[in-house]
Structure 1
Amino acid sequence: MPNQLKPLTNVEIAGAKPRSTDYELRDGEGLYLLVKTSGRKAWHFEYYHPVTKKRTKTSLGPYPVVTLAMARETRTKYRRLLYQGIDPRQHLAGIAEEKRIQNECTLEKVAEQWLKEKKRTSDLSEDHAKDVWRSLEMHVFPSLGNTPVTEIRPKMLKEHLTPLEEQGILETLRRVISRLNEIFRFAISEELIEFNPADNLVARFKKPKKQNMPALHPSELGRLMLALQNASIRKETRCLIEWELLTWVRPGEAVSA
């Protein structure tokens, strides 16, 4: 009957002294402690690759940062993966890559990609784009900008946007929610997330009251025309407004004319 490997003890590990060459203290089932000539100690797990069947090893970390109990727990996890035909090293690499992608795909970075794409595919002016970005910087990014989009939930958005409702700036709140919806729909199309956490969010807040805009007094017409000439807007927009003033048509009629 073959000799059964005796498990390591904390006393044995702590008392292991360096020798003229590196050596191993084995705990069984692929786990061993490598003791270097410098006196440094590190845990390793040795196994057969589930596909290539080649002998492979991976580091579990230095001792005593990684204790005997921690090393054994990791060994158990790795053996479960191997039982499922999964290489532990590839599994760890996949987790690290997924974490890297999540860290790169924060709400602010995804919003930046969304706005860039929106400018490319629509007639969004540079001034309007700046206004959109400024509203996100003021009302969204300070607390949610660095949050990965995969971690954002409806309740989180509701709690974050409630102060806007309490301040009574409901129209601003409505625009912010609309932009968040666009950002999350963009994230879904890029396969960064599977659902839109801002979907139906607007229904959970008060609606802004509709009110008629006050009429322009004739004495203010000169100031309006001067402001139009100095405004940073497209020429077509300026001409359209001037044409409305001359013809008294409604904005919708002017656009479709």
Structure 2
Amino acid sequence: MPRLAKPLTELQIAKAKPKAKPYTLPDGNGLFLMVSAAGLKTWVVRYRLPGKSTHTPATIGHYPALTLADARVRALEIQRDAKQGIATAGTRKARQLEAVVGDAEQEAEALALAEAERATFRAVSGRWLAEKRIGWAAETYRKARLVVDSYLIPKLGDADMRTLETKDVRPILVEMAATVPQLARKARQHVGSIVEHAIHEGLRSDESALRLARILPTIRSGHMPAVTDDENKLGAVMRGIDAHENRVVRAALTLAALTVMRSGVVASARWSEIDLGAGYWNIPGKNPDGSNRMKTGQDFSTSLPTQALEVLREMHLRSGEGEYVFPPQARQNSPHVSRDSLSGALRGMGFQGEHTTHGFRASLRTLGRERLGIDVDVLEAQLAHAPKDEVQAAYARVKFKEQRREVMQAWADYLDKVKGGNVVEFKRKA
């Protein structure tokens, strides 16, 4: 029977340092840890078959790849098999370790290099992005990847996440704050989340979060530029869109204005979602790869006013045989028009800092309420803002369906009105 031994602890194993010669640390039940001169920690189980007078050593794996708990389970299995006369095959005998110290040293070095590479900021951030991509909208993932790949990896890519400290990150965030303050705030958020991911993977202790809260200078955050109090300016925006030379971009911007869907959703619209007969656009909450299409991740349906149907029928003549309503433009790698093409077009019209594609949502929220008298709950439902609870969500979907159809037609007619210059002096309600 294997000699009784005081069980090992994770702390003992972690503190076990290499010596001039290999040595062992017993755990009991025939299991012991052999520490080579190179620092390689190898699990070995000694078992004896019935009728045999000597024990047979079997190497079952290396720590930390094989944890203490798993090594104990494996040891029990080997001892059980031994009692039944079953030898453990496919393992090296412990006494062979001393004869192949050179190989062990190389193996230890390779293992250490692999562990070091796995712990780099580059590797951890890659695993973090892969995990987050499942639940994120495509645009959210794209922006996060941009920040990580363009700003963080060049400076922190080879940093060891096991020892990364706040002082290592601070200069990078401060430098970003001076040139791209909004991205600096995102970078700070992402670094914190990546460090938390490393903690979850066991690369860092639970109390090792970085202190990033007060690193960046306080800046006044603003909303995306949107025309909300100047009908003449909104009319100019609509006329600019009408005059845009690119038919695809013009149509996409028009649909964004008429439906106030987010630009990424508009750019990636599929013909399978469009019901021209019923006048509805049924948007899946998720993309085929499982990532969010809608920000809430929930399916959404919006009516299409007659002006939107006219635009879509024109596009159907051009792209109706394809998957996407708005095909990609020259030198674009995406399967559909880029959302950046839409915002770029508005900038090119001279509305930079005044109005964005996303800004049509704010325009409806403000002007729809103050000019058209639309109920706030109806507006919130059309904007696909997440209701506070499931009851409100169900109410919004059922109660406001017909009201939203009327509202969106009224909104489209209103945009035609301001586009034609038929406006009066704007007076904000108290």
TM range, normalised to the smaller chain?
0.5 to 0.7
- Secondary structure of 1:202's match? coil
Higher relative helix content: 1
Q: Which moves more between the two structures, 87-96 or 135-144?
A: 87-96
Deviation at 1:173, TM superposition (A): 0.8
Residue matched to 1:118: 132
Residue matched to 1:146: 158
Distance 1:196 1:157, change over 3 A: farther
Deviation at 1:98, TM superposition (A): 3.2
Residue matched to 2:219: 208
- Alignment of 1:104 with 2:89, yes or no, is no
Unaligned runs of 5+ in 2: 1-17, 26-33, 42-104, 228-232, 242-252, 257-262, 271-282, 286-293, 295-299, 303-357, 369-373, 388-395, 397-430
Opposite residue 161 of structure 1, the aligned amino acid is L
Deviation at 1:201, TM superposition (A): 0.8
The whole-number CA distance in structure 1 between the counterparts of 2:193 and 2:267 is: 28
Q: How does 1:1-257 map to 2 (within 5 A)?
A: 77-79=19-21, 82=23, 86-88=35-37, 90-91=40-41, 92=105, 93-94=107-108, 96-120=110-134, 122=135, 124-167=136-179, 169-194=180-205, 199-211=210-222, 214-216=225-227, 217-219=233-235, 220-221=237-238, 223=241, 224-227=253-256, 228=263, 231-232=267-268, 235=283, 237=294, 245=364, 247=374, 249=379, 254-256=385-387, 257=396
The whole-number CA distance in structure 2 between the counterparts of 1:129 and 1:103 is: 24
Distance 1:156 1:213, change over 3 A: same
Opposite residue 160 of structure 1, the aligned amino acid is I
Distance 1:146 1:205, change over 3 A: same
Opposite residue 114 of structure 1, the aligned amino acid is W
Distance 1:153 1:233, change over 3 A: farther
What TM-score, normalized to structure 2? 0.35
Opposite residue 172 of structure 1, the aligned amino acid is L
Unaligned runs of 5+ in 1: 1-75
**% identical aligned pairs:** 18
Q: Residue by residue, what CA displacement relative to the aligned partner does 1:64-99 show, whole Å, maximum 9, x if unpaired?
A: xxxxxxxxxxxx9415x6498844253555565233
- Secondary structure of 1:156's match? helix
The whole-number CA distance in structure 2 between the counterparts of 1:183 and 1:127 is: 19
Residue matched to 1:36: none
What TM-score, normalized to structure 1? 0.55
Deviation at 1:195, TM superposition (A): 5.3
The whole-number CA distance in structure 2 between the counterparts of 1:165 and 1:243 is: 28
Opposite residue 203 of structure 2, the aligned amino acid is L
Deviation at 1:211, TM superposition (A): 3.6
Q: Residue by residue, what CA displacement relative to the aligned partner does 1:192-246 show, whole Å, maximum 9, x if unpaired?
A: 2225766331312212213455541321257453455852379465967888736
Distance 1:116 1:161, change over 3 A: same
Contact 1:152 1:197 in 2 (8 A): no
Contact 1:165 1:173 in 2 (8 A): yes
- Quote the RMSD (CA, aligned, Å): 3.8
The whole-number CA distance in structure 1 between the counterparts of 2:146 and 2:223 is: 27
Q: Residue by residue, what CA displacement relative to the aligned partner does 1:122-158 show, whole Å, maximum 9, x if unpaired?
A: 2x12232122101111110112113232242210101
Contact 1:127 1:232 in 2 (8 A): no
Q: How many residues align?
A: 178
